[in-house]
A and B are shown apart, each in its own frame.
Chain A
Amino acid sequence: MATESTRTRRGVDIVVRSIIPVVLALIVAAIILLALGKNPLYFYGDVFANGILGGNWQNSLVVMTPMLLIAVGLIVVFRGQLWNLGYDGQYLLGAVFVGGLGPQLAPIVGDALTYLITAVLAILVGAVWTLLPAWLKARFGTNEVITTLVMSSIGVGATSLLIGYVFQDPSQRTPQTRTFNTSDMLPYIPGTTIHIGFIVAIVVALAFQFILSRTSFGLRLDIYGASPKAARHVGINSRGMTIVLFLISGGLIGLAAAMDILGHVGYVRNNWNPAYGDTIMPFVFLARLSPLAAIPFVAFYAIFATGGTVASIDSGLSTDFLMVIVALILVFMTLTEYIGTKRDLGQSYLPDELRDAFRRPFDTLRTRSAK
């Protein structure tokens, strides 16, 4: 069947286009490493050893947990062509309530109830923090990129204030919340050192894959994202959709904070900001805004981040080198998309002027030899 084969080709095309940028970024990063006088093979080997080998893959999956939840939270709004860039503020505010209340709550109400209360609280806090940008967008069309970024800064500042004036651990000199007892934190998946938050993240990703691809809500969301005009035509309540999408996004980011604090970090220190959202941003797009496809991409980055942090220190590099690689992926992703679109349209890859400039010397040569 003709349609069958074109569909397979499209599928292969998408996979190739998603992986090429990562491969190219790793190659260029290797060249940068060479230029810095480091051995790239040693560096990548080190990443592999510290990210996967031994029990290290378990650490990677722990790191992956909040990243995957945030990725799903971003995918939901991005599919609606809404850009929630306030993830840092939403994450930290959610985290500070978990770290601020959880350790004291656990001895009183028990672990299970603590998990439930703090997780719900973090979801609510994350969601509420998106409410103002969402309402401004829905009511006045205010650019949500700006409002969410501003709200994020306010959220980061508010986190510091909350630690300083409300949640400060009296037994500590450094500004930070109380710390969970290790026994009060999320239990491990039996036989591993991965907390059950990882399962929560996977389940959430699969659930949203189902919601987005197979339910009426997912279809309405896709229509709304593809064309607000079509959404109005079909009778979708655009304002309601905007607000719901932001609330879900903020809620999932809050949940990510809860899982991270309850299962991994245990407390919130002042000026601590893991900025997960920034690092996973390119992978969300490489996964073509699919929660299912985001799982391997986020897993890849989690391994890279876990192993790369150690490898960077081993090689005497700043851990910011990881951000260089993330940025390279973004650059190559843009280039791949550009070339792919040009090819789909059957256009030439080079501007005419440039091609003519290349061609001119040959043309002159040819006319000369003809004489």
Chain B
Amino acid sequence: MAAPTPGVISLKHITKAFPGVIANNDISLDLVSGQVHCLLGENGAGKSTLISILAGMQLPDSGTIEIDGSPVTIGSPKTAMRYGIGVVHQHSTLVPTLTVIENLMLGETGLLLKEKRAKARLDELSDLLGATIDPDSLAADLGLGQQQQVEIAKAMWTGSRLLILDEPTSMLTPSAIENLAQSVERLTAQGLGVVFITHKLREAYSMGDCVTVLRGGRKVGFLSSDELRSYTEDEAQTAILQAMFGEDLAAAGGLADAADLAGAADAVREIPAVDFSVRPVVLELDDVTSAGRTMDVAVKDVSIRIHAGEIFGIAGIDGHGQTGLAEVVAGQRVATRGSVRFDGNDITRLGVRERQALGVRYVTDDRLHEGTVGSLSVALNLMLKRIGKRPFWRFGQINRAAVNDEAEKLIDQYTIRTPSPSTRAAALSGGNLQKVLLARELGEGAQVVVVNKPTYGLDLKTVRLVHDLLRDFASAGGAVLLISTELDELVELSHRIGVISKGEIVGTVDNDGVNTAEKVGQYMIGGTQDGD
């Protein structure tokens, strides 16, 4: 395969507008081979659009892409691959029922599978990445870190000169992040260019050779490799933060808070202690076991007690039964054994709608396909769980005025940014969709709320808002079951943290401020055989 050629891919004055929003506004970037170019910015800053233009999924409205000085049109992912641009997307694109080598050969053309050659190529790439990948194991059996290595191999399959990693660390454990950093180092040493997209400042600083900061679709800051080297960590941090937040720096709570938000330092507990011996238990799970669906980890013998005003965190590697646990509490999945009690009453047999009416709510992690219906208006999405209820529906007929009034109230209260209540939900950004979910679930009569990865893929201001909302909800006496793969978040918000592995709670840690993250990490490693 062709060795990566030294050179540069330049984006010149890229502009891309969608109805109502300019996603990229006159952005120019040079992606130099042998360098890690960090793309920092909140969600909605235009990172994804820029990447999809590079990957050939969208054409820019204006501006050009030049490879080694000659202008090119990248009109399809296939063309992007031909130019050696490989993308590792935030979400897994592996087919779980196929083996590693089958997954890698998916993009190949030709009549017969050339498995021998493919295995040789995989060996070559594993050497390059410094990883060991068994070509014959099923993709579903791989740990997350390994899955990511396979994704990288897939992106580089036909020879690569630029590797784009879209938020690669968001679901990895600290040791897996370490491995990834080493792989990236090896790749750049080979002369490959890497674009590293992240919203965490400390990663940008530790991994990047140069940093570009995007905000609101514009390029608002650039630190060249020389600058970055000459700065101390604090100076670099300040420069990047000022670019990231701009005039909003004050709104984000000053430099220190902004640094905290942007993940510059290690997390500490930020929630006040409560004496739970005097608080009633609101949600009780007794030896709950759920029926698993295909390719999904079921919950086994889980017992949890959550008091009023408590935030109970669930830590664990993604896909270890978190969704099952959330759904068993929400009523979307039946418990085959055990019981779920709310305020002392058995609700094991109740469905979603009855639990919703009692005050048991669920903010799902799949905002796009489960939590909202893109083709429906924002107003209707806000009312999804109250369909048919008075005064919004009378004798089955919708009362548009009442629905709109309620929607406007919620849009105002939760600062949901939408052109109007009748805008289709598909037009909203991830952060605003999450606000829609929170407005719907935390509103009127909520007592227990299950939140599944509530800040996944959100911009920092929304992350802060979500954290504040959850804290306020708890201090007002609500009980929260907080499921997250971000350890920082759990440490900041939870009173106690349970660690889930293969559907079981393998340990519970009191978040007393002493080495909580390490204790949780130990349970996580001890609880899984395949590690990361």
**Bound complex: CA A349 to CA B288 (Å):** 53
For residue A232, CB closer than 8 A to chain B, the reply is: yes
Residues of A within 8 A of B374 (CB): 226
Query: Are the CB atoms of A216 and B372 closer together than 8 Å?
Result: no
CB <8 Å contact, B59 and A347: yes
B362 near A233: Cβ-Cβ < 8 Å: yes
A214-B398, A229-B370 known; A352+B79 contact, CB < 8 A: yes
User: B257: CB under 8 A from chain A?
Assistant: no
A215-B396 contact given A234-B385, A346-B61, A351-B76, CB 8 Å threshold: yes
Least CB distance, B111 to chain A, in whole angstroms: 20
- Is the CB of A235 closer than 8 A to any CB of chain B? yes
Expressed in whole angstroms, the minimum distance between the Cβ of A338 and any Cβ of chain B is 15
Bound form: Cα–Cα A105–B338 in Å? 59
Contact of B372 among A3, A215, A230, A232 (CB under 8 A): A230
Residues of chain A within 8 A of B388, CB atoms compared: 216
Q: List, in ascending order, chain A residues with CB within 8 A of B398's CB.
A: 214-216, 219
Digitize B74-118: 1 where CB-to-A-CB distance is under 8 Å, 0 elsewhere.
111011000000000000000000000000000000000000000
- Enumerate B390-410 residues with CB–CB distance to A below 8 Å: 393, 396-398
- Asked if residues B76 and A6 are in contact (CB atoms below 8 Å), the reply is no
Q: Which A residues between 82 and 110 are near B, CB-CB below 8 angstroms?
A: none
Q: Does A318 sit at the interface, judged by CB under 8 A?
A: no
**Binary contact readout A343-364 vs B (1 if CB under 8 angstroms, 0 otherwise):** 0011110011001000000000
Please tell me if the beta carbons of A235 and B356 are within 8 angstroms of each other in the complex: yes
Closest to A215 in B: B396
**Interface residues contributed by chain A, number (CB under 8 Å):** 27
| A111 at the binding interface (Cβ < 8 Å) | no
Given known contacts A3-B423, A226-B376, A346 and B58 CB-to-CB distance under 8 angstroms: yes
- Known contacts A6-B19, A235-B353: does B387 contact A219 (CB below 8 Å)? yes
B331 contacts A235, C-beta separation under 8 Å: yes
Q: Shortest CB–CB separation between residue A135 and chain B, in angstroms?
A: 20
User: With an 8 A cutoff between CB atoms, is B224 at the interface?
Assistant: no
Contacts of B376 in A (CB 8 A): 219, 222-223, 226
Cα(A2)–Cα(B17), bound, Å: 15
Residue pair B375, A222 in contact (C-beta under 8 Å): yes
Query: Given B75, B366, B385, B396, which contacts A216 in the complex, CB threshold below 8 Å?
Result: B396
By beta carbon, the residue of chain B nearest A6 is B19
Q: Is A220 located at the chain interface by the 8 A CB criterion?
A: yes
Is the Cβ of B385 less than 8 Å from the Cβ of A235? yes
Q: Does A233 contact B370, Cβ atoms closer than 8 Å? A: yes
Per-residue contact bits, chain B 346-381, to A (CB 8 Å; 1 contact, 0 not) = 000001110010000010101001111111100010
Option from B20, B76, B332, B373 in Cβ contact (under 8 Å) with A223 = B373
**Contacts A219-B398, A234-B387, A235-B385; A355 near B75 (Cβ below 8 A):** yes
User: Which chain B residues border A227 with CB–CB below 8 Å?
Assistant: 369-370, 373
A351 — which chain B residues lie within 8 A by C-beta? 75-76
A188 at the interface (CB under 8 A from B): no
Q: How many A-B Cβ pairs are below 8 Å?
A: 87
Q: A234-B352, A352-B76 are in contact. Are A215 and B384 (CB under 8 A)?
A: no
Chain B, 431-456, contact with A by CB distance < 8 Å: what is the 0/1 string? 00000000000000000000000000
On chain B, the residues within 8 Å of A321 by CB distance are none
Q: Is A272 an interface residue (CB 8 A)?
A: no
Closest Cβ–Cβ distance, residue A215 to chain B (whole Å) = 5
Using Cβ atoms and an 8 Å threshold, which residues of chain B touch A346? 16, 58-59, 61
* CB-defined contacts of B423 to chain A, threshold 8 Å: 3
The verdict on A217 contacting chain B, using a C-beta distance below 8 Å, is yes
B293 to chain A, nearest CB (A): 11
Q: Is B522 among interface residues, defined by CB-CB distance under 8 A? A: no
Q: Tell me the minimal C-beta distance from B301 to chain A in angstroms.
A: 24
Q: When the two chains form their complex, are residues B397 and A215 in contact, meaning their CB atoms are under 8 A apart?
A: yes
Residues in chain A near residue B79, CB distance under 8 A: 352
Residue B174, interface by CB 8 Å: no
Question: In which size bucket is the chain B interface?
Answer: 35 or more
Determine the distance from Cα of A215 to Cα of B387 in the docked complex, in whole angstroms: 9
Tell me the nearest residue of chain A to B76, going by C-beta: A352
Tell me whether B137 is interfacial, beta carbon within 8 Å: no
Of B330, B369, B373, the contact of A222 (CB 8 Å cutoff): B373
A215 to B351, CA, bound (A): 22
- Determine if B369 and A229 form an interchain contact, defined as CB atoms under 8 angstroms apart: yes
CB <8 Å contact, B387 and A230: no
Q: Which residue of A lies closest to B20 (CB)?
A: A2
Contact with A along B39-66 (1 / 0, CB 8 A): 0000000000000000000110100000
CB distance from A6 to the nearest CB of B (A): 6
Most buried by A among B330, B331, B373: B373
Q: How far, in whole Å, are A355 and B79 apart by their CA atoms in the complex?
A: 12
> Which of the residues A215, A217, A223, A352 comes within 8 Å of B78, measured between beta carbons?
A352
Q: Which residues of A contact B238 (CB under 8 A)?
A: none
**Least distance between B379 CB and chain A CB atoms (Å):** 11
Interface residue? B513 (CB, 8 A):
no
**Within residues 314 to 371 of chain A, which ones have a CB less than 8 A from any CB in chain B?**
345-348, 351-352, 355
Q: Bound state CA distance, A352 and B387, in angstroms?
A: 47
A174 → B minimal CB distance (Å): 49
B371 touches A230 (CB 8 A): yes
Query: Which of these, B19, B20, B366, B384, contacts A234 with CB under 8 Å?
Result: B384
Given known A234-B352, A235-B352, A348-B59, contact A223–B75 (CB-CB < 8 A):
no
Q: Is B73's CB within 8 Å of the partner chain A?
A: yes
B58 touches A226 (CB 8 A): no
The answer to whether A226 touches B73, judged by C-beta atoms less than 8 angstroms apart, is no
CA–CA, A233 and B73, complex, Å? 42
Interface residues of A in 216-265 (CB under 8 A from B): 216-217, 219-220, 222-223, 226-227, 229-230, 232-235, 237
Taking a contact as CB atoms under 8 Å apart, the answer to whether A233 and B332 are in contact is yes
A214 to B398, CA, bound (A): 6
User: With A219-B387, A220-B387 as given contacts, are A232 and B332 in contact (CB-CB < 8 Å)?
Assistant: yes
Smallest beta-carbon distance A350→chain B, Å: 8
Report A-chain residues with C-beta under 8 Å of the C-beta of B387: 216, 219-220, 234
B-contacting residues, A179-215, CB 8 Å: 214-215
Which residue in chain A gives the minimum CB-CB distance to B17? Answer: A346
A237 to B331, CA, bound (A): 12
A182–B460 CA distance with the chains assembled, in angstroms: 76
CA distance A347 to B419 in the complex (A): 25
CA gap between A237 and B75 in the complex, in Å: 43
B393 neighbours in A (Cβ, 8 Å) = 215-216
Interface contact B370-A345, CB-CB below 8 Å = no
Min CB distance, A168 to chain B, in Å? 46
Residues in chain B near residue A355, CB distance under 8 A: 73, 75
Docked-complex contact B351 and A235, CB < 8 angstroms? yes
The listed residue (A233, A237, A345) touching B371 by CB distance below 8 A is A233
Contacts A6-B19, A235-B331, A235-B385 given; does A352 touch B75 at CB 8 Å: yes
Q: How far is the CA of A214 from the CA of B403 in the complex (A)?
A: 12
B420 within 8 A of A: yes
Q: What's the minimum C-beta distance from A4 to chain B, rounded to whole angstroms?
A: 10
Q: Taking each of B362, B370, B385, which has the highest tally of chain A beta carbons within 10 Å of its own beta carbon?
A: B370
**Residue of A220, A232, A351 with most chain B CB atoms under a 10 A cut-off:** A232
A-contacting residues of B (Cβ < 8 Å)? 16, 19-20, 58-59, 61, 73-76, 78-79, 330-332, 351-353, 356, 362, 364, 366, 369-376, 380, 384-385, 387-388, 393, 396-398, 419-420, 423
What are 27 of the A-B contact pairs (CB < 8 Å)? A2-B419, A214-B398, A215-B393, A216-B393, A216-B396, A217-B396, A219-B376, A219-B398, A220-B387, A222-B373, A223-B376, A230-B370, A232-B352, A232-B370, A233-B332, A233-B352, A234-B352, A234-B384, A235-B356, A235-B385, A346-B61, A347-B59, A348-B59, A348-B75, A351-B76, A352-B76, A352-B79
Q: A234-B384, A352-B75 are in contact. List 5 more A-B contacts (CB 8 A).
A: A2-B419, A232-B332, A235-B332, A235-B385, A237-B351
- B-contacting residues of A (Cβ < 8 Å)? 2-3, 6, 214-217, 219-220, 222-223, 226-227, 229-230, 232-235, 237, 345-348, 351-352, 355
